[in-house]
Amino acid sequence: MTYDINIVDVSKRFGSTVALDGLTLNVRQGEMFGLIGPDGAGKTTLLRILCGLYLADAGHHLLAGVDGRKKMRTVRSFIGYMPQRFSLYPDLSVAENMRFFADLFQVPHKEREIRLQRLLEFSRLGPFIDRRAHALSGGMKQKLALSCTLIHTPKILLLDEPSTGVDPVSRREFWSILAELRGQGVTILVTTPYMDEAARCDRIAFIHKGKILVTDEPTAIPSLFKKNLLELHCRQHVMAARFLEQSRAFESVKIFGDRLHVSSHKPNAQTTRLIKSTLAAANIDVISIKPVQARIEDVFVELLQ
Amino acid sequence: MKPRFIAIMQKEFIHIWRDPRSLTIIILLPLVMIFLYGYAITFDIKEIKIGILDQDRSPTSREMVRQLTKSGYFVVTADLHDRSEIEPAFLGRKIVAAVIIPDNFSRDLNTSFRIPVQLLVDGSNSNLATVTINYIKTFFLTYSLQINARLLNAPIDMQPRVWYNPDLKSANFIAPGLVAVIMMLICALLTSATIARERETGTMEQILVSPIRSAEIIVGKTFPYIFLAIIDAIAIVVFAWVVFKVPFRGHPLLFLFFAVVYVYTCLSLGIFISARVKTQQVALMAAQLVTTLPSLLLSGFIFPIVSMPKVLQLISYIVPAKYFLVIIRSVMLKGVGMAALWQPTLFLLVFGTLLLFISVKRFKTNLEG
């Protein structure tokens, strides 16, 4: 198995805050790897270290086998990094932004125009080629940012929450673009707060307080959940959650949309009875209770406790 | 494939061109400044308001007052009849000086050696007061000589003649200085914020993750402003020449050469500031403090350096405008050439290069520190 990104024991602190605490992570060549974790877990810090914007206090990392610390400019020539905040030039047009980044990466002129056309097609930004970046919608901005990141055909792509603040349709479109890139053999390391996006990755890792807690394929993650899980559909579900929690009869009660996930070590039948009696006492109508397979977020919520 | 610094330059040109704010600064600021300074700062004395308390009221005394005002330096705005009227006239700002002609002025003129004529001056504007006293003193000296040249035996006949600015016109003195100050202002204001702006908006992060070198960023960001500053310099000189009739005796190409050298130094200073501050606001404040103020006050633009305290004189040695002032006054008013000006030129080149070098060295292609 060849790895494209090797991160070994990397630590980084800002003053007294520990951002990364001896983090070790390996990303395989050509895989789409999702990094998931709450705000402040160290996701952005890790990506910034990989592209040399931050210098690690300890540990080392290799990108495509090249030492990221010692040969930073070499590494930068074959990686693409897209920061969380849209940071292209608002007063430059779509084409101007892309050409500028192509020139920064010393893409030959002819090649530049070919790639420009291809990326415009790819990102469906073609009709907006002369539009200034500030006049683009959130989704289009994100696609432009990605196009600028891709103009030098990087081997490794580092994306920091690329779909935050983007509408659901653009989000789906963006991810299908990523899937296409993955098909072309680009190694992608992407951070995301969305579990449905995590499910699209080949492997995911859960990062918390500067450390990796679990790394596995998205489909394997739910099996880490060792308790029984029931999905409860009822009226006044927020209030219901409070009553169930106060009863202290369950391992955990979590709100997922308009449903509640109740976990317990006890058999499902027993838990169902307990839920019904608790809510009956509170005068809350139960619509349905059914056992469900744990989802990625159930596991992560569990891990955080 | 173009060099990376050219890519940065092109982008910078687009920013300037599409940003109405910086365009306004570039075009309007020099014109507004030269208008303000050209018309407002004048050391030429004209129409100083004086009051006359003529206690003699004779044809002779009236003739003398007529001669005093004939020069155009003074206008009589108060005809006083009593000493008690003097103070209200000062307080009401009707006059800045009062001349008191004694009783029997005309009678004593031919007989007495000493006729006391009193001059009262409002010292609250000490500049104006000094000039007024000197003008009136000179007037009475000349007048006395006319009345009775025989009584005086003056072996030395001093004949002053002013070269290069024979009329001692303020505009001739101010305009070249303005070129120095305005160019520094433009360069500093525009460049100081350019790196800080990209830091603030986050675009710097995006540039830095390319294989770019610090020097390429610094040079690419500095150069576009050279053209703009040079255009401004030419505009100011032409403006001074047309509107204020300031002579231009040197060779235009020579002027252009010096302007480029000076702009290079100014921009290096601006970039030097920009490379070390985090926000645009701090950059602008720092630029004001480090470039504009010293250029106005410590360059010899208005206040002569020789009459400053020693500390300020020492500081003035690192004010680029001081050197450029020497150069541009020489070029515009005296028409001297390169040979006489290599020293200040060398200083500007060395100083600018040093700053640029430090900026490049200190500029990190990461977000640390």
Averaged pLDDT for residues B50-67: 90
- How many domains does chain A contain in total? 2
Residue A100 touches partner B, C-beta closer than 8 Å = yes
In sequence order, the 6+-apart residues with CB closer than 8 A to the CB of B36 are none
Q: Is A292 left (phi over 0), alpha (psi -120 to 50) or beta?
A: beta
Measured between CA atoms, how close is B13 to chain A, in angstroms? 11
Write the pLDDT tens digit of every residue in B108-130.
877 777 888 899 999 888 878 88
Query: Which residue among A170, A192, A219 closes a domain?
Result: A219
pLDDT band at B30 (very low <50, low <70, confident <90, very high): confident
B150 at the A interface (CB within 8 A)?
no
User: Is B211 in Cβ contact with A101 (below 8 Å)?
Assistant: no
CB atoms B209 and A81 under 8 Å? yes
The last residue of a domain, from among A171, A192, A219: A219
Best mutation target among B23, B203, B208, B210 (most A Cβ atoms within 10 Å) is B210
Whether the pLDDT of residue B165 is over 70: the answer is: no
- Mean pLDDT throughout A266-278? 86
Segment B224-248 shows an average pLDDT of 84
CA distance B89 to B86: 5
Mean pLDDT, rounded, for B203-209: 90
Residue A107 has a pLDDT of 93
What is the residue-wise DSSP string for B199-254? HHHSHHHHHHTSS--HHHHHHHHHHHHHHHHHHHHHHHHHHHHHHS-----S-HHH
* Domain CATH for A271: 3.30.70.100
Residue B76 identity: V
Instruction: Specify whether A131 is located in the same domain as A279.
Output: no
Could you tell me if A157 and A186 are in contact, meaning their C-beta atoms sit under 8 angstroms apart? yes
Confidence of residue A77 (pLDDT cuts 50, 70, 90): very high
Quick check: B23 contacting A, CB < 8 Å? no
For position B45, what pLDDT does the model report?
67
Which two tokens mark B163? Answer: 């070269």
pLDDT at B160 over 80: no
A252 and A194 in a common domain: no
Q: Are residues A32 and A94 located together in one domain of the fold?
A: yes
- In this prediction, residue B42 has a pLDDT band, given cuts at 50, 70 and 90, of low
pLDDT band at B168 (very low <50, low <70, confident <90, very high): low
Give me the pLDDT at residue B167, please.
67
User: How far A195 CA sits from the closest chain B CA (Å)?
Assistant: 27
Is A299 exposed, middle or buried (CB count within 10 Å of its CB: 0-12, 13-18, 19+)? Answer: buried
Residue B10 has a pLDDT of: 93
Nearest neighbour of B1 by CB, restricted to A72, A89, A108? A108
Q: Are residues A125 and A231 in the same domain?
A: no
B interface mutation test: which of A13, A45, A53 has the most B CBs within 10 A? Answer: A53
Output B11 or A236, whichever has higher pLDDT: B11
Identity of the residue in A53, A76, A109 whose CB atom sits nearest the CB atom of B1 = A109
Q: Which residue has the tokens 């790895």?
A: A3
Residue A130 has pLDDT above 90, yes or no: yes
Cα B271 from Cα B336, distance rounded (Å): 32
Helix (H, G, I), strand (E, B) or coil at B123: coil
Beta carbons of A107 and B7 less than 8 Å apart: no
> Tell me: the pLDDT tens digits for A171-210?
888 888 899 889 999 999 999 888 888 889 999 999 999 9
Proportion of chain B above pLDDT 70, given as a percent = 93
The predicted pLDDT at position A56 comes to 93
Q: Give chain B's end-to-end CA distance (angstroms, integer).
A: 33
| Residue A296, pLDDT score | 83
How many helices (H) and strands (E) would you count in chain B? 15, 4
Q: How many CB pairs under 8 A join A and B?
A: 77
Q: For chain B, what percent of residues have pLDDT higher than 90?
A: 18
**Does B21 lie at the interface with A, CB-CB under 8 angstroms?**
no
Contact at CB, A54 and B366, closer than 8 angstroms: yes
Query: Is A100 in Cβ contact with B202 (below 8 Å)?
Result: no
Asked if B211's CB is within 8 angstroms of A73's CB, the reply is yes
What is the structure's pLDDT at A24?
Answer: 94
Q: How far apart are the C-alpha atoms of B284 and B155, rounded to whole Å?
A: 60
> How near does any CA of chain B get to the CA of A72, in Å?
8
Do A42 and A176 reside in the same domain of the chain?
yes
Using CA atoms, how far apart are residues A85 and A83, in angstroms rounded to an integer? 6
B75 has pLDDT over 60 = yes
Average pLDDT score over chain A: 89
Tell me if A100 and B10 make a contact (CB, 8 A cut-off).
yes
pLDDT for A29 beyond 90 = yes
Phi–psi pair at A9, nearest 5 degrees: 55, 40
Give yes or no: residues A32 and A122 share one domain.
yes
Biggest CA-to-CA distance, chain A: 74
pLDDT band at B152 (very low <50, low <70, confident <90, very high): low
Residue B367: how many other CB atoms lie within 10 Å = 14
Q: Work out the pLDDT band at B290, boundaries 50, 70, 90.
A: confident
CA distance A160 to A145: 12
- Write out the two tokens for B84: 């008690």
Distance, in Å, from the CA atom of A148 to the CA atom of A145, rounded to the nearest integer, reads 5
Same structural domain, A97 and A210: yes
* Distance from C-alpha of A209 to C-alpha of A203, rounded to nearest angstrom: 20
Q: Which domains are assigned to chain B?
A: 8-41+169-362 (no CATH), 48-151 (3.40.1710.10)
Mean pLDDT of chain B: 84
Among the ranges given (A4-8, A59-63, B46-50, B320-324), the one the predictor scored with the smallest mean pLDDT:
B46-50
Q: Does residue B55 carry a pLDDT above 70? A: yes
Q: Look at residue B98 and give its three-state secondary structure.
A: strand
Q: Which of A85, A103, A108 faces B7 most closely, judged by CB atoms? A: A103
State the DSSP string of B27-67.
HHHHHHHHHHHHHH-------EEEEEEESS--HHHHHHHHH
Instruction: Domain of residue A273: give its range.
Output: 223-304
Cα angle A258, A262, A267 (rounded to 5 degrees) comes to 140
CA distance B335 to B324: 15
CB distance A206 to A212 below 8 Å: yes
DSSP string, B190-214: HHHHHHHHHHHHSHHHHHHTSS--H
CA separation for the pair B331, A226 (Å, rounded): 88
Mean pLDDT lowest among A21-30, A43-52, B238-247:
B238-247
Residues A238 and A190 in one domain: no
Rounded to whole angstroms, the Cα distance separating A66 from A49 reads 14
CA B222 to chain centroid, in Å, comes to: 26
φ/ψ of B275, rounded to 5, equals -70, -20
Question: Given pLDDT bands bounded at 50, 70 and 90, which one contains residue B100?
Answer: very high
Q: Give the rounded percent of residues in chain A with a pLDDT score beyond 70.
A: 99
| 3-class SS of residue A177 | helix
Confidence (pLDDT) at B138:
85
CA B184/CA B295 separation, integer angstroms = 7
The verdict on A229 and A207 lying in the same domain is no
Amino acid A183: pLDDT: 92
Return d(Cα B119, Cα B71) in angstroms, integer. 18
pLDDT(B44) > 70: no
Strand order in the sheet with A156-160: A79-82, A156-160, A187-192, A32-36, A203-208, A211-216
Answer whether B203 sits within 8 Å of A89, measured CB to CB.
yes
Q: How many CB atoms lie within 10 A of CB B120?
A: 19
Per-residue pLDDT for A153 more than 60?
Answer: yes
- CB-based contact, A184 to chain B, within 8 Å: no
The pLDDT score that the predictor gives to residue B46 is: 74
The number of angstroms, rounded, from the C-alpha of B347 to the middle of its chain's C-alpha atoms is 21
Q: Give the whole-angstrom CA distance, residue B254 versus residue B242.
A: 20
Window A:58-77, CB contacts with B under 8 Å: 72-74, 76-77
Residues of chain B found within 8 Å of residue A104, distances taken between Cβ atoms: 4, 7, 207, 210, 212
pLDDT band at B98 (very low <50, low <70, confident <90, very high): very high
Average pLDDT of the segment spanning A242-254: 84
Are A206 and A252 contained in the same domain? no
The reported pLDDT for the residue numbered B213 is 92
Q: Compute the distance between CA of residue B117 and CA of residue B105 in angstroms, rounded to an integer.
A: 9
Place of tokens 């707060």: A193
Asked whether the whole model's pTM tops 0.80, one would answer no
Q: Which residue has the tokens 């993955």?
A: A182
Boundary-marking domain end, from A186, A219, A252: A219
Stretch B196-216: mean pLDDT: 89
Chain A CB contacts of B201 under 8 Å are: 87, 90
Same domain, A44 and A153: yes
Contact across the interface for B210 and A105, Cβ inside 8 Å: yes
**Which residue shows structure tokens 């930068």?**
A76
Q: Following CA atoms B137, B138, B139, B144 in sequence, which dihedral angle do they give, to the nearest 10 degrees?
A: 90
Residue B222 pLDDT greater than 90, yes or no: no
Q: Are residues A106 and A240 in the same domain?
A: no
Question: pLDDT value at position B162?
Answer: 67
Least confident range of A125-129, B216-220, B278-282: B278-282
Q: What's the rounded mean pLDDT across residues B351-364?
A: 90
**Cross-chain Cβ contact A92/B11 below 8 Å:** yes
From the CA atom positions of chain B, what is the Rg in Å?
A: 28
Residue A27: CATH number of its domain: 3.40.50.300
What does the pLDDT average to over A129-140? 91
Which has more confidence, B187 or A151?
A: A151
